[in-house]
Amino acid sequence: MCGIIGAVTVESVSETLLEGLKRLEYRGYDSAGVVLIESEVLKFYKYAHLNKSIEKLSKIAELNSSLATVGLAHTRWATHGVPNDVNAHPHADCTDSIGIVHNGIIENYRQILLHLEKKGHNIKSNTDSEVVAHLIEDNLLVEKQSNQDDPLNFVRAVRKSLNLLKGTYGIAAVSSDFPGQIVVAKNMSPIVVGLGNSGNYISSDVAAILEKADKFLYLKDNQIALITQDNLRLYDIDLNEIDFKTTEVTWSYADAQKLGHESFMLKEMYEQPVAFKNTLADRDINKLELFFDEIHFDPNRLMDIQKVFLVGCGTSFHSAMVAKYAIEHWVRIPVELDIASEFRYRDPILDGSTLVIGISQSGETIDTLAALNFARKSRAKIISVSNVVGSALTNNVDAVMFTRAGPEIGVAATKTYIGQLAVLLGFAISLGKFRGTLFKSEAENYFRELLSCSDKIDMALKRREDYNQLAQKLSGAKDFFFIGRNMGYPTSLEAALKLKEISYLHAEGYAAGELKHGPIAVLDDQSTVVGVATKNKLYDKVLSNLEEVRSRGANVFVVASDSDEEIGKHFENIFYVPDTFELFSPIVDIIPLQFLAYELAKLAGNDVDRPRNLAKTVTVE
């Protein structure tokens, strides 16, 4: 949730750090700070100001003109300690000779704090993070006494400090005694190292250092790295040096820019047809293996699978729901659907004949990572679906399917949702063909139909003006219900989430048939109900549900198929979308509802890319 960037280069790092902070802005933050090493002295600059601290940092002349070649920077999203200047990162030890930035939560920081205070340490902030700087201070003293000028003293001190930490962390540390070094360590929170021509970089997010580096290494849990201007050394938790292979990231710097669009979210919405097409390019339903970008098991094992679990959070959970309907329909295997944060705590029954599919665009959502860790221990086969090559979700799994949506910066997921639907629906068809529940010709027809959805998304996107006119009628509305049945249900959940996230309006997604079991009591003439009523086998039932809400006074809007000539006779406000095969309808039906959320957020004057209280990647439980 917090953003980290660090650099050790041949030239001044101030601009790189400030630019990097700006690239991390989209994660949302309440404070930001920088530490530089200047002539073996650490200089700290920190501000707490909601979404404005980077601007303030950029105006500090001393920081801008600094010739320091090593530094760290951080955007904070407060978990422990209110947002104020003291609680902002980087944090220092007692003598300001060690600086650290941290992403994650140190769960046992109170115990560590008592222990440090007894030893006479002066703790200045109310954060869980500052203790790390003081632990390193103590351990470095011991290392210096026993190993004198050993250049590995700092990395050893950081390593020893990790011994005491319980919780999650991506940590980067600098020391005035080792002015050319940055040490990073990771447990459950992302750290990527970038190697470039003018120096080396670290970050919590590859998008922040894309412009500077061309080779990348995503740290795995319990790894520690020592980064200098011309070298990277990687260690395991016992400080044995380990070999590594860097990854090349196909995303370009331009991919992570707005490129003239008014917001990242809008740009990413318009990128959906391409994200969809790219995600399915080179996949072949007749060769199941081609659905996997990484595979570490014999795919024939999928013949033995008796049960599938799909886990994810937020939008990724909604794409999991679409996949459940598709897999059960085509593959005839029971599929359970789990919100990742609930999965391991409900003690699910898993064994070697279970397949668990974890879905996360970032590949760093801690709840989803923990769910897969749990599944791993039970011998289940594990497949992950992620948009980020090298992300934690793709480590230690049997296979990986990547969505190829490019970097998604807007907090509200749009193009990665479409990418997830593409790969999961394609995989479901392929698995049906592989297990013999679909004939080859059937599978081919479905896949052809799936591929055609990219043009339909495009057609829907071109109707923005029509959709906006309808959305404007809802300016001032406060309570929304999105309802649908079957494939309209996940679309309703996703539409409600989008509206909540960026417009801050109360919205609920409901199975249309469930409304009368309670929620209908809430409805009155101040309520808006948006029904997903595109042509499918439950179309008539959805219309009846819409009539029920209309007779309670609700203002009804409908998403309907272009070919539906009847619906206009019953309802006035209709978002028409291209006709789409029922199981693929979520891909197209969501487009007008993304525009609805976007338009209402704009009318309310909200920052759609940085909605309040939210972070793009949720790395705390």
What amino acid positions are annotated as catalytic residues?
2, 616
Cβ atoms of 62 and 53 closer than 8 Å: no
For residue 291, how far is the Cα from the chain centroid? 22
Which lies closer to ligand AGP via its Cβ, residue 127 or residue 391?
Answer: 391
Give least dist CB 365 to ligand AGP, A. Answer: 3
Segment near ligand AGP (CB under 6 A); pick from 20-28, 198-206, 311-319, 438-446: 311-319
Q: Decide: is 611 part of the binding site for ligand AGP (CB under 6 A).
A: no
C-alpha span between 258 and 268 (Å, rounded): 9
Going 258 to 261 to 264 to 267, the CA torsion angle's sign is negative
Q: Which is nearer to ligand AGP, 13 or 409 (CB)?
A: 409
Instruction: Identify the residue among 501, 508, 599, 609 touching ligand AGP (CB under 6 A).
Output: 501
Token pair of 171 as six digits: 């940590």
Tell me: does residue 187 bind ligand AGP (CB under 6 A): no
Q: Which of 316, 430, 492, 534 binds ligand AGP (CB under 6 A)?
A: 316
Q: Is 57 in contact with 32 (CB distance < 8 Å)?
A: yes
Using CB under 6 A, which of 106, 116, 313, 326 touches ligand AGP? 313
Is the Cβ–Cβ distance between 6 and 103 less than 8 Å?
Answer: no
Are the beta carbons of 592 and 575 closer than 8 angstroms? yes
Judged by CB under 6 A, the residue of 181, 278, 362, 545 near ligand AGP is: 362
Asked whether position 263 contacts ligand AGP by CB under 6 A, the answer is no
Residues 6+ apart with CB under 8 A from 613: 28
- Examine residue 310 and tell whether it contacts ligand AGP (CB under 6 A): no
CA–CA separation, 614 and 617 (whole Å): 9
Residue 391 engages ligand AGP in binding (rule: CB under 6 A): no
Interaction between residue 365 and ligand AGP (CB under 6 A): yes
Q: Which stretch binds ligand AGP (CB under 6 A): 77-85, 109-117, 406-414, 585-593?
A: 406-414
> Are 32 and 6 in contact, with CB atoms under 8 Å apart?
no
CB 362 within 8 A of CB 316: no
Query: Per this entry, what is the length of the chain?
Result: 621
512 binds ligand AGP (CB under 6 A): no
Selected from 13, 366, 618, 620, the binder of ligand AGP by CB under 6 A is 618
Rounded alpha-carbon distances, angstroms, from residue 322 to 91, 244, 333, 410, 504: 44, 38, 15, 23, 25
- What's the CA gap between 190 and 206, in Å, rounded? 10
Instruction: Count residues near ligand AGP (CB under 6 A).
Output: 16
Q: Strands 41-48 and 31-38, how do they pair?
A: antiparallel
Binding region for ligand AGP (CB under 6 A) out of 234-242, 324-332, 357-365, 601-609:
357-365
In the list 8, 355, 412, 588, the residue contacting ligand AGP (rule: CB under 6 A) is 412
Select from 328-336, 354-362, 542-550, 580-588 the region that touches ligand AGP (CB under 6 A). 354-362
Contact footprint for ligand AGP (CB under 6 A): 313-316, 360-362, 365, 368, 411-413, 497, 501, 617-618
